[in-house]
Amino acid sequence: MASPTPVVLITGAAHRLGAHIARHLHQRGWNLVIHYRSREIEASALRNELNNIRPDSAVIIQADLSSPGQTKILANQAVSAWGRLDGLVNNASVFYPTPTPEASADDWNTIMNTNLRAPFFLGQACLPALKKSRGTIVNMIDIYSQRPLANHPLYCASKSGLASLTRSWAKDLAPEVRVNGVSPGAILWPEGEATIDENYQLSILAKTPLARTGSPDDIAGAIAFFLCDAPFVTGQILSVDGGRSLNM
């Protein structure tokens, strides 16, 4: 029997922003399907944390979203967890510089498959369950989808495509499924090879009217708004950026 509790699949939910989104929606009463690619330890710890708060309310599923064949498997496993699916949050993404003279076909495949192809085919695979529940898709966009970041043409193109997909789906999947997007500004600085140097961080904050970084809870709250509190809203992309998009 399907669970009466709403269920959401969140991609890339094992750490950083995805984990904040998971905790926030769990507090709002949702059951969670926590997707991860390689961070099994973090995903397991988050699942255990949430299940200690509310038993049998979170599961984890591993999938490599850059591999097109794994999205359908992920969708099927997510729906099978509680026999229903009410929300899909396409949070997982890849971000690193790809200057045009140096970008490779592998870079193209990694970024486009993860940031654009995976959300499309995952949404497609989840569609029957989402239609049945009159559910919601929320895509994680980026302010750079509108005004590109230098030396990141593949990332910016993938997020622009996801923004367009959000609006297209909002028309095509209505009235059963609502589709919206959240476009973060400076929330958590990138890690690893994608790290942004301190001077550039300061230049970003100088262009942000609120003159500070945001909190992961700002993004989680925006996603919760679309999932829980906005039954007459679809096709919208909400900038949560402290006003930075005014001064790009």
Residues with catalytic annotation?
155
Name the CA radius of gyration of the chain, rounded. 17
Strand partners, 179: 137
The three-state secondary structure class of 218 is helix
Query: Residue 213: which of 175, 192, 242, 246 has the closest Cα?
Result: 242
Q: At what angle do helices 118-133 and 153-172 cross, to 10 degrees?
A: 20
Q: Left, alpha or beta for 14 (phi > 0: left; psi -120 to 50: alpha)? A: alpha
* CB of 215 closer than 8 Å to CB of 159: no
Q: What are phi and psi of 197, to 5 degrees?
A: -65, 160
Strand partners, 137: 88, 179
Burial of 141 (0-12, 13-18, 19+ CB in 10 A): buried
Rounded CA gap, 245 and 106, in Å?
31
Instruction: For residue 197, give the DSSP letter.
Output: P
* CB of 234 closer than 8 Å to CB of 180: yes
